[in-house]
Structure formats: structure tokens, C-alpha cells
Amino acid sequence: MWIICGLNPYIWSMATINFFIQSKKSPAGIYVRLRDGRYTDAKAKTRFAVNPEQWSAAKGQPKNLNDVVNKKLNQQLSDLKADLLAHFNNSVGKQEINSKWLKDFINPPDNDDKIPTKLVEYFDYYALHKKGTIEKSTHKKLIVNKRLIERFQIDSKQIYHVKDVNANFKLEFEKYCISQNYAPNTIARAIKFIKTLCYHAQSNGIETHFQLSNIAVKIEKVKSIFLSPEEIQKIENVELEAEHLVNARDWLIISCETGQRVSDFMRFTKDLIRIESGVKLIEFTQVKTGKMIAIPVSKKVQNILDRRNGNFPRKISDQRYNDYIKEVCKKAQINEKTQGSKPHTNGNGTRKMKGTFEKWELVTSHIGRRSFSTNYFGHIPTSLLIGVTGHSTEKMFLTYIGKTETQKAIQLAEYIK
């Protein structure tokens, strides 16, 4: 390629760009070398890698371009070459063209005050600027998804930028997650989170792909697992000797009677109770929604408080609570065969495993909230239930308990017979 170089000491020159590898171990990093006569000879490592057996040293490109992976890699290298030549043209006579210039082009240095364009780095930027406005669980999801993208990049042997999130990114990401035994809904939620991140970047002036808005995911409906009134009675009546199980059982009953998340009910203390118009209320602010909630103290909750001299049970960690209530439900013989999913550890880490299990195996901290919502639906006006659970809309509430508009109409029929 002939390039006119206005300020160079020569009038005409020919810049050449070649790709090569320096290792026989797989994966081998791919290097790029730009030469321009005797004036320029720069070398740098690209963000791509290849199996040495699939690389043609003579041609400086992957072998067997009929292979989908090799064909994609070859196209990416061609795109890099074209971009590099354009950057060279713009830099001649303006910058010193050397290996540092080349490295800065391939991996632009990030200044402290510069908004990152790399996808993984933007996770940290997003967390920093959302600090104080997102709850602990959302921050945890952010970290989990960031690590997932990091593993995906290692597997795909390339670094993704925000602008790279397109239809093909979605397909490759899904393919990787499936190979790692992630559940469909987990994959879908991860993609939705990545899209949210990209839209945040877009609002900060970062370039995004034109296909971003067209990336669609579908969350599969999952059967709601809840405890029936009869099962809750069995849990209340079961004989427990260990104090930690009695403590966990009391929290489980409280959660089934108040419909709150573990992040909220585990903060209950007697100081949150007040009496208004003769009604004893638990009044608090939900962690997730920030909404002020007031819940009447039911007879079952009052019985627990009476046994504990007016105090709520001892606070425990979420993980221990999850473990203990499974044990409680097992002892209470909550063993109906139920379809669902539970964590399963294998060579790829901990994933959700679908199947049919005894119901106690599927019990988690969220079951109390879902049991309250489901058991009282149709018995208490939905507007009042929403006031307790904190759902933003009736539609969200119905989706949460797995009810449809048709089922709501059937419930209505009970009142207008």
C-alpha cells in the first residue's frame, strides 16, 4: 500500500503489516508487525490468540478458512489491519511511529478521568457511579456477571468492548454459558444485565453497537415453589431439639406471615413495633424498594414474640438460614415430589440443576414471601397484598405468584356469585 508522507524525510513509502506467533503452546498470542522501509519497524501483541497447529506462518493467517472459528479470526485480523493502516495514515508526520505507538493503538491507555470502553472495565465504572443507589444484592449480581464475562473472554481469547455487544456477541456468550451448564434463565438475566450496562455507557457518550436494542432474551416461566397452609402447620408442630433449628423455624413462620424478603425480615426487632388505633404494626423501610411498609402483627407472629419475651428470633446469616430451614422442613416431612431446580456443584462450579425433588430440598429464604403472597391471594384484596409485599404494580405481583389475568377473573367470580 502506497502512502504519501508529507513530513517524513522520504516522499513515498510502502507500509506492510504482518501477523505472526512466537509460541508453539496453545493458545499462542498473535503479534502484529508494521514496517515502513528503514524508518519504521514496530511490533506489539494483539488481543487475539490461536492454536499454533491452526496457524500458517507462511501466510500469516489461520489455516482452513472453511472452519467457522478460523474464518471469524481471519476477518477480525483483516479488520485490525485495515484500522491500523488508517491510523498509520493519520499519524504520519504527526506522531513518532514506534512499538509504543502501536501498543497504544491496540490497547489504548485508560486515563483515570476517562470513561472506560472495555466491557469488563465498565462494570467497575458502573459500580462506582451507582454506589449508594443500588442494593447489596444488585452489587453482588454485578460482580458475578463481571467474573462471568472475564471467563468468557479467556475462553474466546479476546477482549470485548462495549461497542462489541451485538447479536453475534449474544450468540457466542450463550454458547459459552451453555457449555458451562448455566440455566437458560441465568443466561437470559446475565444478557439483560449486560444490556443495562451498555445503555448506561451509551448515556455517558460511549459508542454502542446499532444491534444493541434488538438483542432480545426470554425468561422462561418457572413453577412457583411455596408452602401451603397445611405444610406451614406441619412446620409449626414439628418437634425440634436443636436451638438453631427452632430459631430458624420461627423466622420461617414470620416470613410466611409478613411476606418480606430475608434482607427485611431478618432486621425485625421489637423497636419496629408500634400500636396505632389498637392495632400492633411492624413498620420499616424495605431495603430493595426504599418503601415504607406497615404490617399488622398476626396471631402466629405474636405467639413467637410471646415465647421470646417480646423479642424476635436471633439474627443469622442468609446462608445459614437457607441451610437450617431446609433441615427444618425435612424434619417436618415436607417431602412431596416437586419439580424445580437446586444448586449442583460439578467441574464447572455451582449451577442450578433441574429435576424432581422432595420439596424440602427446594426450600430457600424466598419461600416465605412467595407463600404469603400465594396463600392470601383471593382472600385479601390484591391492592392490600401489594401494599405489604411492595410490588410496584398488580401485574408484577400476579407474575410473581404465577397467576394470570384469567385466574384473577376466576377469583373475582367467587365474590360476585
H/E run at residue 19: strand 12-21
What local confidence, expressed as pLDDT, does residue 342 receive? 80
Nine-digit cell string for 128: 462506582
User: Do the Cβ atoms of 152 and 165 come closer than 8 Å?
Assistant: no
pLDDT band at 383 (very low <50, low <70, confident <90, very high): confident
Which amino acid is located at 83 in the chain? D
Q: Provide the pLDDT for residue 8.
A: 39
Confidence label for 149 from pLDDT (cuts 50, 70 and 90): very high
Rounded Cα distance between 165 and 199, Å, is: 11
Residue 135: C-alpha distances to residues 60, 128, 130, 138, 321 (Å): 50, 13, 10, 5, 20
Residue with cell 430451614: 325
Query: How many whole angstroms separate alpha carbon 138 and alpha carbon 132?
Result: 11
How high is the pLDDT of residue 12?
39
Predicted TM-score (pTM) of this structure = 0.58
The pLDDT assigned to 131 comes to 74
C-alpha cell at 61: 493467517
C-alpha cell at 344: 449442583
Per-residue pLDDT tens over the stretch 204-248: 889 999 999 999 988 777 677 899 999 999 999 999 999 999 999
Tens digits of residue pLDDT in 35-56: 987 778 999 999 899 999 999 9
Between these two residues, 330 and 114, which has the higher pLDDT value? Answer: 330
Half-sphere exposure of 287 (CA within 13 A, CB side): 13
Residue 11 has pLDDT above 50, yes or no: no
C-alpha 267: how far from chain center: 26
* Higher per-residue confidence, 8 vs 266: 266
Contact in structure between 34 and 25 (CB atoms under 8 Å): no
Q: Write down the pLDDT at residue 279.
A: 93
**Alpha carbons 373 and 366: distance in angstroms, whole number:** 11
Has residue 413 got a pLDDT over 80?
A: no
User: Among 102, 77, 85, 78, which residue's Cα sits nearest to residue 3?
Assistant: 85
Spatial distance between the Cα atoms of 116 and 110, rounded to a whole number of angstroms: 7
- Say what the pLDDT of residue 416 is: 52
The mean pLDDT of the chain is: 86
pLDDT(377) > 80: yes
More confident residue, 387 or 238: 238
Lookup: cell for 111: 486515563
Query: What pLDDT is recorded for position 30?
Result: 95
Instruction: Output the pLDDT for position 410.
Output: 54
Q: Is the pLDDT of residue 3 over 50?
A: no
Question: 77-86, 134-143, 352-361: which range is least confident on average?
Answer: 134-143
In this model, does residue 415 exceed pLDDT 70?
Answer: no
Q: What average pLDDT score do residues 348-365 get?
A: 81
